[in-house]
Homo-oligomer: A and B are copies of this chain.
Amino acid sequence: MADTEPLTQIRVVLCGTSHPGNIGAAARAMKTMGLSRLHLVAPQRFPDPEAERRAARAGDLLAAAEVHATLDEALRGVAFAVACTTRTREVAVPAATAREAAARVVEVALSQPAALVFGNETYGLTTEDVNKCALLATIPANPGYSSLNLAAAVQVFAYELRMAAASAPEVPGRLLAPHDEVEGFYGHLESVMVDTGFFDPEHPKKLMPRLRRLFARAGLEHDEVNILRGILKALSRPRK
């Protein structure tokens, strides 16, 4: 089916998961909605029989899961990453509902890899992890008790992706630069700002998060990253 094709381009990235049962239940949730690419960043216990048990007939997703040391590794090649949470907070990236985010993820996934990123069961995502994503997405929830189980949150997002894929236009949007290219640009930008004395890493304030927000909102293309890095390079060359 053509309409579920983009789902094969979407990774689910679970960061620092404590309970292997939740990894298994998340795999099951993914498979029921047609997602298959599970990535784990520093899971506390994996593989584990409890993960197998809770995965039911989604054990194939566990067997194919990729384990990484860092979120950057898990997002290598990803053009659009969404930080998924039920908490609202002060962050450096634009915010949306799960439904709005799903529509944008599917649009990107028509032509490029995309990812949903979930945090630890107790602590959620770190601010650093959220800032590595282009969008923060929230499941609208009871303000008095918004604590969805991890696999339940994966289920809702995966469901919204499937619903979005069923109604997505066939035409892909702009081609976005992959995660590692964009991170390379941020690193370049930061080092140039440090060299010029504009940015003091000892007193960072909100400078880098604000710049990340700006570029995340814009959605950088490959050529744009090259242009920006060309400018940085030109500006940091010693003047004659």
A154-194 interface with B by 8 A CB criterion: 155-156, 159, 162-163, 166
**Is A166 a contact partner of B140 (Cβ separation < 8 A)?**
yes
Q: How far is the CB of A8 from chain B (nearest CB, A)?
A: 12
Kindly state the separation between the CA atoms of A152 and B34 in the bound complex, as whole angstroms.
15
Q: How far is the CB of A205 from chain B (nearest CB, A)?
A: 35
Kindly state the separation between the CA atoms of A145 and B142 in the bound complex, as whole angstroms.
30
Which of the residues B34, B56, B142, B155 comes within 8 Å of A31, measured between beta carbons? Answer: B142
**Is A28 a contact partner of B149 (Cβ separation < 8 A)?**
yes
A33 close to chain B: CB less than 8 A: yes
**Is A57 a contact partner of B145 (Cβ separation < 8 A)?**
yes
**Is B29 a contact partner of A142 (Cβ separation < 8 A)?**
no
Which chain B residue shows the least CB distance to A86? B32
**Is B32 a contact partner of A147 (Cβ separation < 8 A)?**
yes
Assess A140 versus B156: contact at CB under 8 Å? Given A31-B145, A56-B147: no
Kindly state the separation between the CA atoms of A155 and B140 in the bound complex, as whole angstroms.
12
Kindly state the separation between the CA atoms of A115 and B151 in the bound complex, as whole angstroms.
24
A19-34 interface with B by 8 A CB criterion: 25, 28-29, 31-34
Which of the residues B25, B56, B141, B159 comes within 8 Å of A162, measured between beta carbons? Answer: B141
Q: How far is the CB of A69 from chain B (nearest CB, A)?
A: 29
Which chain B residue shows the least CB distance to A56? B147
A58 close to chain B: CB less than 8 A: yes
A99 close to chain B: CB less than 8 A: yes
Contact partners of A99 in chain B: CB under 8 A: 163
Contact partners of A141 in chain B: CB under 8 A: 32-34, 162
Contact partners of A25 in chain B: CB under 8 A: 149, 152
List of 9 A-B pairs having minimum Cβ-Cβ separation, nearest first: A152-B155, A34-B142, A32-B148, A31-B145, A32-B141, A156-B159, A32-B142, A29-B152, A155-B155
Q: List 15 A-B contacts (CB under 8 A).
A: A4-B142, A25-B149, A28-B152, A32-B141, A32-B146, A56-B149, A57-B145, A140-B159, A148-B155, A149-B151, A149-B155, A152-B152, A155-B156, A156-B159, A159-B159
